[in-house]
């Protein structure tokens, strides 16, 4: 029992220091002070308070009833401790320590972004809800309110799943991080798609809506429906991943939902949605920007697969699902 208590206290205090450092950066750093919504900071306060109260009983029950000695030795903090202080630098321990350290970096970077996106889209839903006029005709109601409700609901669901997955990693959720992309190029290609890096990329390949060559009509309506359908596939892919959803990590290979047909349905859907959205404003500069973003997402797929191919399960998945984006084509 004394060993368990020592382990509980050690894990509680070390993770308290790590989480406290993260929270301090979110609150005090000027970048996050300008970026994060008040609702996001409130969530972090509740998460930190929840850990203060529930951390010790959680670790006690985990180590007392649900963790074998072999599992304990694979714990992130145990691996990092052995790597740093005992200087156990065997290839297996070095790889595990790198995964442990990078998993904290992934959570630190992506969790506040997902929460921010979640609350932004929630606010948009509330605005569309308040602006509804139920006495309108169906088509007027759909284009003025219903379309925006559906569009933002898709991203509320998507960002909630990702935010939850970044915040909570449990064995019973089957979302423990097995590995983190060890290649710098994989990180670069992923991070340039998110703030603050995407704003710098936008200076070179901006997606701007200038004058439209397409007036209101059935074609414009069809393109908007195409956007919803594409993002519908996008959120279907997120739901198929479930709480394994996460950038730059392998939490176990998923082969259900749209992943039964192609290996990167979310990337295909997002890029199709962009084409549907920007087609009415297409000009040579915008065409080049769209193609450039398509190439970026192709590289995201390639770098992800380079990482995932380190897992034998993914090699088996590739044999079953041969196509990256388009069945029988690509």
pLDDT surpasses 90 at 1: no
Asked, for residue 233, whether it belongs to a domain, the answer is yes
214 has pLDDT over 70: yes
The C-alpha angle with vertex 227 and arms to 153 and 165, in degrees rounded to 5, equals 45
pLDDT confidence of residue 274:
97
Closest CA to 271 of 292, 242, 245: 292
Backbone phi, psi, residue 205, to 5°: -130, 70
Judge whether 177 and 169 are in contact, CB under 8 Å: yes
pLDDT, average across residues 162-187: 95
Evaluate the CA torsion angle 119, 124, 129, 131 in order and state its sign: positive
Residue 140: pLDDT over 80? no
What confidence tens digit (pLDDT) does each residue in 49-58 have? Answer: 999 999 999 9
Whole-number pLDDT of residue 11: 94
Could you tell me the CA-to-CA distances from 70 to 7, 67, 178 in Å, in that order?
14, 8, 16
180 strand-pairing partners = 249
State the pLDDT at residue 211: 82
Asked if pLDDT for residue 297 goes beyond 80, the answer is yes
Q: Check: CB of residue 220 under 8 Å from CB of residue 280.
A: yes
Please check whether residue 316 lies inside any domain of the structure.
yes
Give the C-alpha separation, 260 to 237, whole Å: 10
Q: What is the pLDDT of residues 97-118, one digit of tens each?
A: 899 999 999 999 999 999 999 9
Task: Give me the CATH number covering residue 194.
Answer: 1.20.120
Residue 81 lies in a domain: no
pLDDT one-digit tens code per residue, 151-172:
999 999 999 999 999 999 998 8
Q: Residue range 286-299: average pLDDT?
A: 96
Structural domain of 267: 109-320
In a domain, 84, yes or no: no
pLDDT reported for residue 87: 67
The answer to whether the predicted template modeling score (pTM) of the entire model surpasses 0.85 is yes
Name which of 53, 60, 65, 71 is nearest 16 in CA terms.
Answer: 53
**Above pLDDT 70, what percent of the chain?**
98
Q: Supply the pLDDT for residue 74.
A: 86
- Residue 166: the pLDDT is 97
What's the pLDDT at 88?
A: 64
Per-residue pLDDT at 249 exceeds 90: yes
Bridge-based pairing of strands 179-180 and 249-250 is: antiparallel
Contact of 300 with 185, CB cutoff 8 Å: no
**92 within domain boundaries:** no
Q: Give the pLDDT band of residue 276 (cuts 50, 70, 90).
A: very high
Asked if the model's pLDDT at residue 229 lies above 80, the reply is yes
The confidence band for 82, taking pLDDT boundaries of 50, 70 and 90, is confident
Residue 127 included in any domain: yes
CA dist 150 → 47, 116, 127, 227, 236 (Å): 29, 19, 13, 11, 14
For the chain, the domain total comes to 1
Q: Is residue 21 part of a domain?
A: no
Six token digits for residue 289: 């920007």
Look at residue 47 and tell me whether its pLDDT is greater than 70: yes
Higher pLDDT, 266 or 74: 266
């Amino acid at each position: 029992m004394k060993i368990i208590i020592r382990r509980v206290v050690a894990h509680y205090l070390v993770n308290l220091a790590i989480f406290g450092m993260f929270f301090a950066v979110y609150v005090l750093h000027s970048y996050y002070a300008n970026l994060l919504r008040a609702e996001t900071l409130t969530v972090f306060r509740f998460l930190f308070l929840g850990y203060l109260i529930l951390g010790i009983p959680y670790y006690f029950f985990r180590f007392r009833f649900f963790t074998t000695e072999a599992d304990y030795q694979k714990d992130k903090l145990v691996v990092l401790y052995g790597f740093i202080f005992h200087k156990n630098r065997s290839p297996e321990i070095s790889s595990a320590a790198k995964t442990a350290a990078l998993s904290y970096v992934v959570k630190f970077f992506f969790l506040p972004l997902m929460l921010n996106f979640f609350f932004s889209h929630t606010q948009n839903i509330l605005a569309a809800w308040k602006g509804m006029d139920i006495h309108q005709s169906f088509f007027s109601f759909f284009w003025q309110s219903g379309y925006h409700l559906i569009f933002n609901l898709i991203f509320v669901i998507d960002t909630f799943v990702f935010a939850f997955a970044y915040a909570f990693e449990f064995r019973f959720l089957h979302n423990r991080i097995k590995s983190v992309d060890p290649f710098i190029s994989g990180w670069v290609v992923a991070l340039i798609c998110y703030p603050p890096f995407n704003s710098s990329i936008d200076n070179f390949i901006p997606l701007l809506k200038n004058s439209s060559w397409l007036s209101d009509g059935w074609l414009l309506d069809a393109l908007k429906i195409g956007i919803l359908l594409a993002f519908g596939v996008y959120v279907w892919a997120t739901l198929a991943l479930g709480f394994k959803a996460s950038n730059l990590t392998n939490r176990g290979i998923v082969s259900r939902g749209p992943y039964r047909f192609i290996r990167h349905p979310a990337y295909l859907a997002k890029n199709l949605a962009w084409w549907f959205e920007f087609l009415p404003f297409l000009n040579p500069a915008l065409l080049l920007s769209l193609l450039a973003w398509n190439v970026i997402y192709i590289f995201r797929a390639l770098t992800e697969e380079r990482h995932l191919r380190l897992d034998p399960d993914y090699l088996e998945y590739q044999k079953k699902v041969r196509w990256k984006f388009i069945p029988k084509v690509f």
